[in-house]
Structure 1
Amino acid sequence: MLYAGFWKRTLAYIIDSLILGFVFMIIGLIWGVIQVFGNSMPSPTETSVLTDGLPAIFTMKLLGQTLLNLGISWLYYALMESSKCRATVGKLALGIVVVDEFNQKLSFGRASARYWSKILSSIILWIGFIMTAFTAKKQALHDLIAHTYVVDKRELNYILHKQAERNSHGNV
């Protein structure tokens, strides 16, 4: 099996980050327009926070935006990687897909576990991601945790096709 290496995965991540950044920018613009042209009355949450001043309102809005962005990122990665595509747009552009230990597409739960495990890969100074360059099957920490592999799509399709051929000949 041809496993996707560090640089190919990094480039896929950059492509996905640009896509998500564009989505976040559009959501931010829409939110800004709503704030400017919408109701000028503060929400009940903002009203209760007004006594704490502007920093508290800003912090709450920033927290809300961060949680929204995190939720969108999670759904993007988990839904795409558990779909029939088996990959995000960035991975598809580079011809790589994410599979489980049986070369099957991920369940939504496994794709979610893989996504949330990236937090651990990040908080240990990105070492969890750098591991990709040094493990035999090019797995990052989150891949090891979720039992997933990032592989070349063409080679995977070839292997699956050969397996299907063997199975069809064996059933004759």
Structure 2
Amino acid sequence: MQQSTQKYKPLRLYVSGLGGWLILMQIVLYYNLIELIESIIRSVSMFGNEAWSFLVEKGSIMYHPMWKPAMWFFFAVSIFEIIFLIFILVFFYSKRSFLPRLMIIFFLVGLLNGFIFLILVAQIPLAQEVLGNEAWWIVASIVECLVVVLYFKRSYRVQNTFIY
């Protein structure tokens, strides 16, 4: 008798749909959207009041030349991220094939923006006292990006769901 030398390919589990870990990703996306909208509302309300002039007017106790660019950078990035998130949510529910790349880009750009903001704010002595040690944020953001990138690169559910 001859033994069969045929190789067996393992079958990919045919899981698809917006279930599984994609439920968690939806929660993360909506949480980020709500958090960004809230931060925009807080920023807009601050731009017109005394706190803003207290931070950006020369001669003020709290004045530092980096406050204005740091706050405008944060505001502009938040607006951009809200628009990007809305596009991601539309493409997420449309199950577009390019969504995994958009998700990876969104989280990597968010990490990069966070680093830039921390570098800007680190130049302001008062902000350093208020923010304290942000090492936990850096580590958490790197881990979050790593998890999202690996999930969207390797998940069978992602490969089977985002096909249009």
Which has more strand, going by share of residues? Answer: 1
TM above 0.5, one fold?
no
Please identify the structure whose Cα radius of gyration is greater. 2
TM-score (normalizing by structure 2): 0.33
